[in-house]
Structure 1
Amino acid sequence: MAWLVLVASGVLEAVWATALGRSDGLTRLGPTVVFAAALTASMAGLALAMRTLPTGTAYAVWVAVGAALTMLYAMATGAEPATLLRVVLIVTIVGCVVGLKIVG
């Protein structure tokens, strides 16, 4: 259950990171509200998952899921260039997360 909560929190990290970028320095109401709600839920989920998972592993997985999804979304929307090297590096991040799950 903790792993599921952790991954969901990582997804919410991607949501708040994207919303923060779209908030124009927290001056646009819609993205700012999405940012605040997703940030709160993401942190709460991380805290809940860390009750049973090791801190280092939980934090690394949370960051990796959020970073990978944020990059994939940015590439899918054209906000960032989609190159083979970027995709390979994102796959490597995901592979490391799977490795942490296997050994953790």
Structure 2
Amino acid sequence: MKRKNTIIKSMLLSIASLITGFVAIALPFNLFKTLSDEAMQIVFISEIIIYFVIGMIFLAVCEKRKQEKIKNAKRHEERKCKIERVRREWIDIAA
């Protein structure tokens, strides 16, 4: 069941990506015939800005996940060291 849901989600994501990519590429070409030069420059600049913002958001999310992994690994390592220290202390007390 879980695999089926994953496949469906992957297919929907792929279809959405294809549609978005097609619109992002086809829109400027269709507008080229109807808009003036200044309007096309504005559309082009806004499109570049949108791509840049999306890229920065993606990088920020990736960096946040990376920092969370590092933080969790550090926390687990500290916990492991603490457990080992407590075990050694109990062995010393028992001896």
TM-score, reference length from structure 2:
0.33
Higher relative contact order (CA 8 A, sep 6+): 1
TM-score, reference length from structure 1:
0.31
